[in-house]
Amino acid sequence: MPELLCPVCGGVLTQGEKAGICSSGHSFDRAKSGYVNLLVARQSGAQHGDDKEMVRARRAFLDGGWYAPLRCALCSAAVRHTPAEDTVDLLDAGCGECYYTAAVAAALRTAGKCVGAAGVDISKDALRWGGKRAPDLQLAVASVFRLPVAAKSCDILLNVFAPFAGEEYVRVLRPGGVLLHAAPDAMHLWELKEAVYETPYRNDAAPPVQAGLSLVEEERISAVLHLVRHEDIASLFQMTPYAHKTGPADAARLDALDTLDVTAAFVLRAYRRD
Ligand SMILES: [Zn+2]
């Protein structure tokens, strides 16, 4: 698996039970759930990334299986884009609770590949659940813009609903390695937005462009979700970026929703590192 590096000196971290320690003696505590926190002092302190409430909502919703079509597509793409014979080093940049990471690692193993997998996320709350879901993954709190792994150390990089840090992805992928990038398509959750907002807007679904990464495949995945419980609708809304920008009138419309047919629409793109 891609070895985690010390964020202070860049040395390889030896993973102990209680901490990851580099040869210069920099030490990073391991949480009970398994992740190491690699944010250095000036980065830590304030809440980073998704908070507890958002993580709880997303976990509940994902565990309901509603986004399984995207998970299946990611698994197939990962198997398709990795060579049969070699060990596969997998890194999930923005792994959240590892719902996709764990499934992709399992799919690669089922396909007979030897997999080492790691996940990075800026949210401790997300990684706490990630460690429970996937105890065999190496997990670290860090930014996707400063991934704690060596240059050219990854064969497959996942980037699912997480910021696109193009230059950093070029750095960590081996030549010929593949980035699988999943993002909301233009009409993702349209009916939900229509029900809540006066003037819903479409998502920008333009493909990210990065020198050194060539787009080799683009797949659109969509499904209509028949939500018949208010709590599923509320969880779905809570896990979106718009949840924090909602006024009282919008919130009242959301509270009144007990059933909803809503389109989930994703774009999954594969980029090959030149
Ligand atoms: Zn160090």
Per-residue pLDDT, 42: 61
pLDDT, tens digit, for every residue of 2-20? Answer: 999 999 999 999 999 999 9
**Ligand 1 centroid to 186 CA: how many Å?**
43
Per-residue pLDDT, 41: 64
Per-residue pLDDT, 154: 97
Q: What's the mean pLDDT when you consider all of the chain?
A: 93
Per-residue pLDDT, 198: 86
Identify residues whose C-beta is under 5 A from ligand 1, the ion.
6, 8-9, 11, 22, 24, 26
Torsion 99-157-124-225 (CA) sign: negative
pLDDT, tens digit, for every residue of 64-77? Answer: 999 999 999 999 99
pTM flag (> 0.85): yes
pLDDT, tens digit, for every residue of 98-121? Answer: 999 999 999 999 999 989 999 999
What lies within 8 Å, CB to CB, of 127 at 6+ separation is: 31, 33, 35, 95, 97, 119, 121, 139, 140, 141
**Ligand 1 centroid to 236 CA: how many Å?**
40
Per-residue pLDDT, 244: 78
22-36, 157-171, 202-216, 245-259 — which is least confidently predicted?
Answer: 245-259
Q: Count of alpha carbons within 13 Å of 184, Cβ hemisphere only? A: 17
63 touches 133 (CB < 8 A): no
DSSP 254: H
